Structures are given as structure tokens and as C-alpha cells.
Amino acid sequence: MTNIIRLQNVNLHYASVAFRERSLKSLLAGWLASGKTRRDIVDIHALKDLNVEIKEGERVGVLGHNGAGKSSFLKMVAGLYPISSGKRDVRGTVRSMLDLSLGFEPDATGRENILYRGLLLGFSPKAMRSMESEIVEFADIGEFIDYPLKTYSAGMQVRLAFAISTAVSGDILLLDEVVGAGDARFIAKAQTRILELVEKSEIMILASHDLSNLAKLCHRGLVFSGGKLILDAPIHEAIEHYRRISAQ
């Protein structure tokens, strides 16, 4: 099967109020207190009439200011956000590094969280047990692997999450910035791992504000503004266009 991403007239909406609330309970309480109903909620049009095709072998950089639609684009491709209209055709195994904390349970140990996160990524318990030793070694957090996650520093959580998320490669690799957390030795190790995953992937999409990384890793650029794809061009042209609109 050929790996491909084909998006035709894709629109993505989400309710703005839902992204400001921390829980369903607080969301419902807010509605009841204010007397609002579902139809009072203003939807955000996150992606607008998007048409793009990304083929096997492509390395694509995604550029745009904060709120331009970069993360929404990646999460929609990953299948985390259902589209409102249009057609989304994604063929290939998707591996995404979009939210490293996704699926973590604070009261569970690091070793238990390896299993939980693996199940969320679609792996069987047997598969995760076979990868556990390599994940523990890469995370390099010592005896804390058997302590509850809530005892970890932020850096330790990033190391464990990164080790789990990059334990296996996929046909389609989605990255939202390149990992830059942790000490210098871990950052170097993480960047090496990322490059290995990029080499193994059939399609790679990287959303980043680091223009040098985009120029180094990508050959095609998508520039977003206000939820619209405003330029699809070779990466150096996309970077120059982004610089021009950033200077305005």
C-alpha cells in the first residue's frame, strides 16, 4: 500500500469554550450558571478549505504564527481532530509526537506508564513488554522508573515520554517542534533519535518555529495563516515568505 496524505476541501471547527475548560463537569456547570445553551457557543474555524496532497518520500515543514493552524493541521492528520467537512485520506501507520504527556497517569509508576502509553499508541501489552528494557535505558531516569510519575521532575517526564513515543517508527511521522527539553546529553541523544526516525519514515511533517531545522530536515514547506494554507512551495521559498509576512 502506498503511503499518502490526501486532503480535499477540509474544514475543521471546534468549540472555543471547550478549550478553556479543564473538565466536562466545569464546562456544564458554567453553562448552567450562565444560562447558555450549546447553540450559544462560538465555534472556531481552525482549518479552512484545505487542499493538499503529500506523497511517499516527502519531508514537509509547516510554518505559521501561533494560532495559524499548524498544530490543528497535525492533529487532524493524526486523526485526533475529526474534520467538519471535506475528505481526509491518510494511508500508512501514523506515529505522532504532538503531546508528550498524553496518556500519562500521575499515580502510576514510570514502568506502568510505559504500558498505558503503549496501549494508547495501539500496541499490545506483549509488544510493550518486549520494548520496555530499551525504553527504560533510553529514558535513563534510574530508580525513578519504579516511582509514581507525580514524583518526577518535568524533565524526567519528558525523557520518559520521548523514549516511549520514539521506541518504534511509523510510515508517517508527525512532529510538533523538535524536542529541546532536558540536559545537553539527553537533547543530543533525542535529536539523534529524531533523525533516525525521519530516515525510517516514508512521510515526515514537522511544524516548527526553528527555521534552520526546517531548512535542514524538509524540502517542501506549507505556510498557514488564519487557518488557511497560503503557500505550498519548496522549503526555502516557504521560509522566505514566512519571514516576509513576519516582518510586516
* 148 backbone φψ class: left, alpha, beta (φ>0; ψ -120 to 50): beta
Q: How far apart are CA 171 and CA 57, in angstroms?
A: 10
pTM beyond 0.85, yes or no: no
Query: What does the alpha-carbon distance between residue 198 and residue 193 come to, in Å, rounded to a whole number?
Result: 9
Report whether 186 contacts 108 (CB < 8 A). no
pLDDT confidence bin for 41, thresholds 50/70/90: low
Range in 38-42, 57-61, 133-137, 185-189 the model is least confident about: 38-42
Cell 509547516: give the residue: 62
Task: Quote the CA–CA distance of 217 and 60 in Å, as a whole number.
Answer: 8
Q: What is the pLDDT of residues 119-176, one digit of tens each?
A: 887 789 999 999 999 999 999 999 999 999 999 998 899 899 889 988 887 899 999 8
- Going from the C-alpha of 195 to that of each of 10, 13, 139, the distances in angstroms are 30, 33, 17
Domain boundaries, the chain: 4-92+207-247, 110-201
* Helices and strands counted in the chain (H then E): 8, 9
pLDDT at 21: 44
The edge-to-edge listing of strands for the beta sheet with 43-55 is 43-55, 4-15, 85-91
Per-residue model confidence (pLDDT) at position 121: 76
Q: Name the architecture of domain 4-92+207-247.
A: 3-Layer(aba) Sandwich (3.40)
pLDDT band at 27 (very low <50, low <70, confident <90, very high): low
Q: At what angle do helices 154-165 and 125-139 cross, to 10 degrees?
A: 130
For the record, the C-alpha cell of 52 comes out as 493538499
